[in-house]
Amino acid sequence: MKIYADHAATTKISEAAAAAMLYHMNETYGNPSSLHTEGQRAAEVLADARGRIARLLGAEPREIIFTSGGSEADNQAILSAARLGEQKGKKHIISTAFEHHAVLHTLQALEKQGFEVTLLDVHENGLITPEEVAAAIRPDTCLVTVMFANNEIGTVQPIAEIGEVCREREVLFHTDAVQAAGHLPIDVIAQNVDLLSLSAHKFHGPRGVGVLYAKKGIPLTSLIEGGAQERGRRAGTENLPAIVGMAVALEEACTDLAGKRERLTALRDRLIRGLSAIPHSVLNGDPVRRLPGNVHFCFEGIEGESLLLLLDDKGIAASSGSACTSGSLDPSHVLLAIGRPHEIAHGSLRLTLSAENTEEEVDYLIAAVTDVVAYLRSISPVWRELVSGKQKFILN
Ligand SMILES: *Cc1c(COP(=O)(O)O)cnc(C)c1O
């Protein structure tokens, strides 16, 4: 059996999105900035895609800026808010310790430019509270940036409530909604969001394209100078096929969102129940306030990388949920942020499902992970020490 259970890393492109892209690559080859008929046809297709995406977010078309993906949208949102703050002498930013690196590294760059960043501690369940955000806001705070849903442990923050706090205190609010889009309802008005990032490849759209929503009236700093595309906020000839593919994929994902969410949640909970039976394991993140497809565990006494390689041998594409694959052996900053000790954080496994996964696959996943964990423990010196009582178990 071949099972793809790494949808938080990227998703397979939907057939409808791929077909729309191929069609527009061939048929809509004009430059939307050209005055001739071919160009104007492309401009209409672009405007149509912008309108469809805006509608799905509860936004206006002019509030939608097309970017090269989630990372660029995060960078532009944060740098724009920082520049606006700086003009008013406000150089304090609030975020959380377990954001995506596209946010954390942008904040680190701003610290080098004299900004002060408060990273709120995340509770063990992977959540922060609006009260904690309120308490951290100072007269010189120019931005709060809190992710909608975490890419590793899947926890979903109280975004509307955090947005309300920011609105009351007149501080800009950005949310990285890359993991939420297509899984949870997004409404920028109801959720009090000023700036929001999306990435198409996380909801069965193409790679290399995303959206920055910026509430009207918020001037953006351009990261790329050049032509006047995107109302001067992002230069470069628009990636029309990818933008249309993104619109098609987002529409598809948002169709019967509640129904798909319910089916996916049932699969997720079946997987969580099955893996919870493994001794000395723990589910990371809140059991309920989490993405419908996210399952994330730590298993004591094993290394996440070995687990991934053995699962791959069984046809399973999974993740440790951290940057270990990039060659770094540092444990995940997300797991450390929720207070997991290093020893535990190393033995992590993230399985992220989509509506295409089946109950049969979930049962295969449970059996495979149970087997592999037992095998790795049988050859682990750490496990021997734990079982013999030389070392104490951290997890029950
Ligand atoms: C994937 C991801 C990003 C980066 O998006 P790209 O389009 O790959 O640049 C940013 N934030 C979160 C939460 C993500 O999961």
Closest atom of ligand 1 relative to the 202 alpha carbon: 1
Any catalytic annotation for residue 324?
yes
- For the stretch 329-376, pLDDT in tens is 678 999 999 999 988 999 999 999 999 999 999 999 999 999 999 999
Per-residue pLDDT of the chain (396 residues; tens, 9 = 90+): 899 999 999 999 999 999 999 999 999 999 999 999 999 999 999 999 999 999 999 999 999 999 999 999 999 999 999 999 999 999 999 999 999 999 999 999 999 999 999 999 999 999 999 999 999 999 999 999 999 999 999 999 999 999 999 999 999 999 999 999 999 999 999 999 999 999 999 999 999 999 999 999 999 999 999 999 999 999 999 999 999 999 999 999 999 999 999 999 999 999 999 999 999 999 999 999 999 999 999 999 999 999 999 999 999 999 988 654 445 567 899 999 999 998 899 999 999 999 999 999 999 999 999 999 999 999 999 999 999 999 999 998
Secondary structure of the chain in HEC code, one letter for each residue: CCEECECCCCCCCCHHHHHHHHHHHHHCCCCCCCCCHHHHHHHHHHHHHHHHHHHHHCCCHHHEEEECCHHHHHHHHHHHHHHHHHHCCCCEEEEECCCCHHHHHHHHHHHHCCCEEEEECCCCCCCCCHHHHHHHCCCCEEEEECCCECCCCCEECCHHHHHHHHHHHCCEEEEECCCCCCCCCCCCCCCCCCEEEEEHHHCCCCCCCEEEEECCCCCCCCCCCCCCHHHHCCCCCCCHHHHHHHHHHHHHHHCCHHHHHHHHHHHHHHHHHHHHCCCCEEECCCCCCECCCEEEEEECCCCHHHHHHHHHHCCEECECCCHHHHCCCCCCHHHHHCCCCHHHHCCEEEEECCCCCCHHHHHHHHHHHHHHHHHHHHCCHHHHHHHHCCCCCCCC
Closest atom of ligand 1 relative to the 71 alpha carbon: 9
Best of 179, 195, 291, 294 for a ligand 1 pocket test (most atoms within 8 Å of beta carbon): 179
- For the stretch 37-76, pLDDT in tens is 999 999 999 999 999 999 999 999 999 999 999 999 999 9
| 237 Cα: distance to centroid of ligand 1 (angstroms) | 22
